[in-house]
Amino acid sequence: MNIHEKYIKRCNELAKNGLGSTYPNPLVGSVIVHKDKIIGEGWHQKAGAPHAEVNAVNSVKDKSLLKKSTIYVSLEPCSHFGKTPPCSDLIIAKGIKKVVIGCVDPFAEVAGRGIKKLMEAGCEVQVGLLEKECQKLNKRFFTFHQKKRPYIILKWAQTADGFIAPEIQEKREPVWITNQYSKQLVHKWRSEEQAILVGTHTAIADNPQLNTRLWEGKNPVRVVIDKGLKIPKESALLDGSIKTIVLTEKEPQKAPENENLVFEKLDFQQNLPEQICEVLYRNNLQSVIIEGGAKTLQSFIDAKLWDEARVFTGIAEFHKGIKAPEFSGKMVSQTSLERDNLKIYRND
C-alpha cells in the first residue's frame, strides 16, 4: 500500500461513520496531510450539513498550512450548489494545490466536473486510488444512479432444517428462529438502509412493526405488498407512525387520513419486482431490505434483482413448513452470533 492509498483508506474509515444518515448524499471522508502528518479530517455526517472536505478544512488548527498540504477525498468533490456550496470551490479558495481522489462521482450534477474545475484552477489532481474500495463504500449511491434502482438486500432467517416459517401460526406475531443478538443486528441494519419491504402473508401472519426499536437510528420507509388491500386496518404497518408505501392493484375506498400512508398502484400481471424498483427509485430510496416472506424473496431472486443476501440459520427445527428461498450467490462472509450462523452472499 502506497502513501496515497494509506490516506484514502483513512477517508473510507471516516466516511463509514455517516452510514444511514447522509441519504440522499453519498458517504464521503476526507483527510488533509502536511509533511506526512494528518492535520485535519472529517466526514459527511448528515444530508444538508457540511460535506467531508468542509469538516476536514475546519478541523485544521493552523490554516496557513493548507496551501502546503494535500487533501484526500474518497469521492470526487462536488462542483454544484445543492444545500451547501461546491467543495471544489472551497479547495480552490483555500489554495490547496494537491488533491487525491478515490473515485469519480456518478451523480449527473458532478460526474467529473469537480475534477475538471480543480484542474482548470491549477490543482494537481490524482484520481482512482483504491477505486474499487471507494465504489463499494457507496454501493447504494452508485447502484441508484447507475442502475436507476435501489441497492437490494435480501434478508431471512431459516431453521437448521431449511424452513423460513412454520406451516401454521397460532398467533398473529413473528415466530423467532434466531436469538436476541441476531435480532438486534437486524435492527441496526434497518437504521442503515432507506426502506424495508414485506409481502402480504408476512404482514398478516406476523403483524411486524419494521422499525428500529432495538437500535438507535432512523426508521426506514416501510413498504408492503397488498394486492387486494387485505391487511387488517389495525395492523402495525398501517398505524401511520412511519412513512409506509402500500403497493396494491386496488384503489383505496377513501383517501388515507395519515400523510405517512401512501398507496402506489401496480399491475400485478406484469414483472412485480421491476415495478417495485421503479416505485422505490421514484421515491428516491437508494436501498431496500427485502424481509419476506418466502414468495416475495423468491420473486426478486427469480427476477435477478438483488445485490446482497444476508441469511441467518438458527438451531431450531420445524420439520415442516414454508421452505427458505432457493438462490445461488458468492458467499463473502460467515459469522457466528452465539449459536446462530450468519452468511452474507453477493450476487455476481
295 is in an annotated binding site: yes
Among the listed residues 114, 111, 113, the one whose alpha carbon sits nearest the alpha carbon of residue 91: 114
296 annotated to a ligand binding site:
yes
Is there a binding annotation on residue 66? no
Number of C-beta neighbours around residue 236 at 10 A? 16
Question: Has 121 been labeled as part of a binding site?
Answer: no
Contact 60, 66 (CB under 8 A): yes
Instruction: Tell me if 293 is assigned to a ligand binding site.
Output: yes
Q: How far apart are CA 163 and CA 324, in angstroms?
A: 5
Question: Which residues are CB-neighbours of 96 under 8 A, at least 6 positions away?
Answer: 32, 66, 67, 69, 70, 71, 123
Instruction: Say how far apart CA 236 and CA 64 lie, in whole Å.
Output: 57
Cα of 115 vs its chain's centroid, Å: 26
317 carries an active-site annotation: no
Q: Hey, CA dihedral for 215, 243, 307, 133, is it positive or negative? A: negative
Place of cell 416505485: 279
| Residue 139 and residue 171 in contact, taking contact as beta carbons nearer than 8 Å | no
Q: What angle, 0 to 180 degrees and rounded to 10, lies between the N-to-C axes of helices 294-302 and 272-282?
A: 90
Q: How far is CA 342 from CA 157, 293, 329, in A?
A: 9, 18, 15
Is 18 annotated as a binding-site member? no
Q: Are 207 and 172 in contact (CB under 8 A)?
A: yes
Q: Which residues contact 29 (CB under 8 A, 6 or more apart)?
A: 10, 11, 12, 13, 14, 15, 16, 17, 41, 42, 43, 44, 52, 73, 74
Binding site annotation covers 270? no
Q: Is 189 annotated as a binding residue?
A: no
Only one residue has cell 412485480, namely: 272
User: Annotated binding residue at 298?
Assistant: yes
Q: In the chain, which ranges are E strands? A: 29-33, 38-43, 70-75, 98-103, 124-127, 151-158, 163-165, 195-198, 221-225, 244-248, 261-265, 287-292, 308-313, 322-323, 330-337, 340-346
Residue 257 annotated as lining a ligand binding site: no
297 is in an annotated binding site: yes
Among 41, 53, 193, 308, the active-site one is 53
Q: Binding site annotation covers 329?
A: no
Residue 13 counted as an annotated binding residue: no
The annotation status of 11 as a binding-site residue, yes or no, is no
Provide the annotated binding site for substrate: 190, 206, 210, 213, 291
Instruction: Give the residue numbers of the binding site for NADP(+).
Output: 157, 176, 202, 293-299
Binding residue numbers: 51, 78, 87, 157, 176, 190, 202, 206, 210, 213, 291, 293-299
- Positions marked active-site: 53
Binding-site residue ranges for Zn(2+): 51, 78, 87
